[in-house]
Amino acid sequence: MDRNDFSSKLREATNRNGSRLVLALDYSDVFSRSERNLWKIKKEKLLKKAVETLENTAEHLAAVKINMQLILPLGLFNDLQRVVDKVEEYELPLIADCKLNDVGHTNLWITQHIFNAGFDAIIANPFVGWEGGLDTVFEEARKRGKGIILLVYMSHPAAQEGYGQIVLTNEGEKPQYVIFAEKALKWKANGVVVGATRPMIVKKVKDILGETVPIFSPGIGVQGGRIEEAFKSGVNYAIVGRTILNSPDPGKTAKNLKETINDVLRLLGEERGAG
Amino acid sequence: MDRNDFSSKLREATNRNGSRLVLALDYSDVFSRSERNLWKIKKEKLLKKAVETLENTAEHLAAVKINMQLILPLGLFNDLQRVVDKVEEYELPLIADCKLNDVGHTNLWITQHIFNAGFDAIIANPFVGWEGGLDTVFEEARKRGKGIILLVYMSHPAAQEGYGQIVLTNEGEKPQYVIFAEKALKWKANGVVVGATRPMIVKKVKDILGETVPIFSPGIGVQGGRIEEAFKSGVNYAIVGRTILNSPDPGKTAKNLKETINDVLRLLGEERGAG
């Protein structure tokens, strides 16, 4: 794996910008089939917002995450490319939040499209399993130095209905998120997602992963998670969307978040691995 | 709910075309950032294949399913609209195979985009749970007469790693797919997906759902599932992609599949509910 691989790129951006902040660039707008004449204007507006926020926040970021909110209206091989160009200009790793959970041949198509479109990493759901599920996706990522980040516990209220299940395994009863964290280790994932809304789960996942696999944590801000608690529990990167996007000054908000995280890390007296 | 709702539209197409066949229109092609000059030609080629196959197969179909193979390269509010137009022309219900598994506000954005783009139904993963997961998605679908189809057991080898888990619940030990089938009933889903590669699972899911929620079954053909076994076990609709797409004569293959299914249903001496 060369120095252009996802994990190296993430480490470099982390160090360069002194930041553990991942921007979730989740702008969107309502498009409808009956108003095709408005699409061009709406796409331009959406693009403008996305690019402006990148320009204002880039120096405070470790990475950028893009989800279907932006991919679906802009089109992966259409206007979205201008957002990808901008992220590339700032040399930030770009993560596609596809929460991949299809059969192998479809997962591979999605992954190829995402990587070919200029993304450095993709998020996948380990629930789909290995054989004919994520095996070919990991193979593709390894071949190209790209990253795969696995969901281990999400940030929404109902996450316990799935990620919090107790499962009977050959090794006895296990929480679902423990099974997923163990898969992240075994499959050599480049990161995991654990919601900041559940610091106790972050801690348990950290005990399994140590500093081998970094923890990315959404749910800070609008969803109620607290930065200090999250990083104390073992989070390596905070994923923040709406708190920055809805701010009157996204650049300032990103800077403040970055500095708050760094203050917490300094207080913890540690240099937590950048991944 | 009016007669334009997804389930009515599906019933009508089923009766009109005498078909229990759902076409998975999963053509794709390799696009890359370094060959932007080729995109336009490749998109046209992809569109042409998709539209031609629709023209040749439409009269033998009950519905059309589109996945990210086609959405990502063509763009939901870009060239894909020409495929949507074509499906609309044949009055076939159009299903988006997004396997939704994100947090509520993102799921809602994806669902709105998909419905606004002309789709009649969307596939979701019940693993994500209700509160702040799929609650808003069901609400949106109900409001608009759109459909939601839930994954209950997928067709790939590793599906047992997730869908086949034994989970400890308040009501004792339960297979994951039983929990999912019960959610489909409780949430009033418009259909479930169970892989044809596991006829015993289809049978067990059928025992739970009866004729209330139709079973859509992928995995016939390339993935090894057999039509007769699948429909005997309780499948209502066969989802077929590659067997038709890779055939030298997709129209003839679709016709043969349709007739084989109808022969099986006649032999079973039943009029299985169309959903």
Q: Are B153 and B201 in contact (CB under 8 A)?
A: yes
Whole-number Å distance between alpha carbons of A268 and A265: 5
The catalytic position among B99, B174, B203, B252 is: B99
Confidence of residue B221 (pLDDT cuts 50, 70, 90): confident
Residue B220's pLDDT is 85
Whole-number Å distance between alpha carbons of B100 and B126: 9
pLDDT digits (tens, 9 = 90+) for B109-166: 999 999 999 999 999 999 999 999 999 999 999 999 999 999 999 999 999 999 999 9
Q: What is the mean pLDDT of residues A84-103?
A: 98
Q: How far is B102 from chain A (nearest CA, A)?
A: 7
Contact B125 A101 (CB under 8 A): yes
- As for the ipTM of the complex, it is 0.95
Class of domain B6-274: alpha beta
Q: What is the mean pLDDT of residues B33-57?
A: 97
Q: What is the mean pLDDT of residues A138-146?
A: 98
Residue B275's pLDDT is 46
Confidence of residue A223 (pLDDT cuts 50, 70, 90): low
pLDDT digits (tens, 9 = 90+) for B227-245: 999 999 999 999 999 999 9
* β-sheet bridge partners, residue A220: A225
Give the chain B residue nearest A135 (alpha carbons).
B158
pTM of the full structure: 0.96
Residue A1's pLDDT is 46
pLDDT digits (tens, 9 = 90+) for A32-62: 999 999 999 999 999 999 999 999 999 999 9
Q: Are A231 and A263 in contact (CB under 8 A)?
A: no
Contact B109 A155 (CB under 8 A): no
- Considering only the beta carbons, identify the residue of A33, A84, A131 that sits closest to B157: A131
B204 is catalytic: no
Q: Are B217 and B235 in contact (CB under 8 A)?
A: yes
Q: What is the mean pLDDT of residues B40-55?
A: 98
User: Does the structure show a pLDDT above 90 at B3?
Assistant: no
pLDDT digits (tens, 9 = 90+) for B174-202: 999 999 999 999 999 999 999 999 999 99
Give the chain B residue nearest A112 (alpha carbons).
B30
The SS3 call for residue A240 is strand
Tokens of B31: 């696009």
Q: What is the mean pLDDT of residues A122-137?
A: 98
Contact B162 A68 (CB under 8 A): no
Confidence of residue B219 (pLDDT cuts 50, 70, 90): confident
Burial classification of residue B256, based on how many CB atoms lie within 10 Å of its CB (0-12 exposed, 13-18 middle, 19 or more buried): middle
Q: How far is CA B29 from CA A118, A273, B2, B44, in A?
A: 16, 39, 38, 11
Residue B217, chain A, CB below 8 Å: the answer is no
Confidence of residue A275 (pLDDT cuts 50, 70, 90): very low
